[in-house]
């Protein structure tokens, strides 16, 4: 078990070793047990974390705010449109000043080709840990909660488990690629056999696929790509049917276009779930575009683990903060 985390950034789980991620999961389980038993977990008394949001949030904001409170600290919610960032203040100045006033900086910035660069600029200048609450490329807090949920439902030994990350039709907004990117990079490191399914035009970056396959080779997992959604559902133990935008092939911010409309049939249905293995899980980072991405009979049905998955956002967020803001 790794024990030295204090001051460590979490921009992507690719920057964390397997041992560090396993420690993060162990701490998450411990904190979840404490939460269930109503045991106090005051590991960060009087510590402050700044939560910078360039976009809306439900699970991420509340898991971080509730989490730091339960650890004995306090969160400052910062709407960046109300900060001097809106007047052009650069990341360097924001990072240095907030570092002098608190103990961690967390940020969500999903703007394409801007978000991750901004997070890394914050981390370059901050003297406190920087936590990625989602950017245009990575969503480590979601991915680790997803893995924790899979382990709870399917056992800690996930080797040869079949997990499918499947594109689905949605019209709410042009969503980032950060959730599927983080999943296909992380899951093979735990021996999982990942199937990535999407219509042509919704590709993930080439470097992501290369790195995911490298992770699979090193850790005994696998990654295959298909453009046939039925193939992805067939015999899967866990499915993640979720929309993401065509950012890699089309940088337009337009939500609904001809490519999207041509793929309205990419939807999680009862019939497709019937192709999966016995006891399979339906999972989603939320919010789901009900009726477009998924039928109510699935998301509200016996396969669904969405609420356990959402709760685990709390416990994994607490673990990240407890380890990086405290410790030695």
Q: What is the pLDDT of residues 142-169, one digit of tens each?
A: 999 999 999 999 999 999 999 999 999 9
Q: Phi then psi for 182, rounded to 5 degrees?
A: -65, -35
In this structure, how many other beta carbons lie within 10 angstroms of the beta carbon of residue 244?
Answer: 21
What's the pLDDT score for residue 135?
98
Shared domain for 179 and 80, answered yes or no, is no
Cα–Cα distance for residue pair 71/63, rounded to 1 Å: 12
What's the pLDDT score for residue 1?
84
DSSP state, residue 204:
P
Q: What is the pTM of this model?
A: 0.97
DSSP state, residue 256:
S
Tally of domains in the chain: 2
Shared domain for 224 and 305, answered yes or no, is yes
Shared domain for 206 and 76, answered yes or no, is no
Shared domain for 122 and 178, answered yes or no, is no
81 Cβ contact partners less than 8 Å away, ≥ 6 residues apart: none
> Is residue 192 helix, strand or coil?
coil
**CATH number assigned to the domain comprising residue 284:** 3.40.50.1370
Shared domain for 106 and 186, answered yes or no, is no
Cα–Cα distance for residue pair 328/326, rounded to 1 Å: 7
What's the pLDDT score for residue 2?
86
Encode pLDDT of 302-327 as tens digits.
Answer: 999 999 999 999 999 999 999 999 86
Question: Is residue 6 in some structural domain?
Answer: no
> Is residue 289 helix, strand or coil?
coil
75 Cβ contact partners less than 8 Å away, ≥ 6 residues apart: 48, 49, 50, 51, 64, 65, 68, 69
Cα–Cα distance for residue pair 279/153, rounded to 1 Å: 10
Shared domain for 234 and 297, answered yes or no, is yes
Question: Is residue 189 in some structural domain?
Answer: yes
Question: Is residue 179 in some structural domain?
Answer: yes
CB burial string 146-179: b at 16+ within 10 A, e below: bbbbbbebbeeebeebbbbbbbbbbeeebbbbbb
Per the listing, tokens 């790195």 go with 211
Q: Taking the chain, what is the end-to-end CA distance rounded to the nearest angstrom?
A: 14
Question: Is residue 7 in some structural domain?
Answer: no
Shared domain for 49 and 147, answered yes or no, is no
Shared domain for 23 and 118, answered yes or no, is yes
Question: Is residue 5 in some structural domain?
Answer: no
Question: Is residue 121 in some structural domain?
Answer: yes
Shared domain for 179 and 298, answered yes or no, is yes
Shared domain for 34 and 125, answered yes or no, is yes
Low-confidence ranges of the chain (pLDDT < 50): none
Shared domain for 54 and 189, answered yes or no, is no
Question: Is residue 43 in some structural domain?
Answer: yes
Range of the domain at 84: 13-139+312-325
Pairing status of strand 104-109 against strand 48-53: parallel
Shared domain for 149 and 115, answered yes or no, is no
Question: Is residue 133 in some structural domain?
Answer: yes
Burial category of 27 from C-beta neighbours within 10 Å (exposed 0-12, middle 13-18, buried 19 and up): buried
What's the pLDDT score for residue 327?
62
Q: Which tokens is 205 given?
A: 């970056």
């Amino acid at each position: 078990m790794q024990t030295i985390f204090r001051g460590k950034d979490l921009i992507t789980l690719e920057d964390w070793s397997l041992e560090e991620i396993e420690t993060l999961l162990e701490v998450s389980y411990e904190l979840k047990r404490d939460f269930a038993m109503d045991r106090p977990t005051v590991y960060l008394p009087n510590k402050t974390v700044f939560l910078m949001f360039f976009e809306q949030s439900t699970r991420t904001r509340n898991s971080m705010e509730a989490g730091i409170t339960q650890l004995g600290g306090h969160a400052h919610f910062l709407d960046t449109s109300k900060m001097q960032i809106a007047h052009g203040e650069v990341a360097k100045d924001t990072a240095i000043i907030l570092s002098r006033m608190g103990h961690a900086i967390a940020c969500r910035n999903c703007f394409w080709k801007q978000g991750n660069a901004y997070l890394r600029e914050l981390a370059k200048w901050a003297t406190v840990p920087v936590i990625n609450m989602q950017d245009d490329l990575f969503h480590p807090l979601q991915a680790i909660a997803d893995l924790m949920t899979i382990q709870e439902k399917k056992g800690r030994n996930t080797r040869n488990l079949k997990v499918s990350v499947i594109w689905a039709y949605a019209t709410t907004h042009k969503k980032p690629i950060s959730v599927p990117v983080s999943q296909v990079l992380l899951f093979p490191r735990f021996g999982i056999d990942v199937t990535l399914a999407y219509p042509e035009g919704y590709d993930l970056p080439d470097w992501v696929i290369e790195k995911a396959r490298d992770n699979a080779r090193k850790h005994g997992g696998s990654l295959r790509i298909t453009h046939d959604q039925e193939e992805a559902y067939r015999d899967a133990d866990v499915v993640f049917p979720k929309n993401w935008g065509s950012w890699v092939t089309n940088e337009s911010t337009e939500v609904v276009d001809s490519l999207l409309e041509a793929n309205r049939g990419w939807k999680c249905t009862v019939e497709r779930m019937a192709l999966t293995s016995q006891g399979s899980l339906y999972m989603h980072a939320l919010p789901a575009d009900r009726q477009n991405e998924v039928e109510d009979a699935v998301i509200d049905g016996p396969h669904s683990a969405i609420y356990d998955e959402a709760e685990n956002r709390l416990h994994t967020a607490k673990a990240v903060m407890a380890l990086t803001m405290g410790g030695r």
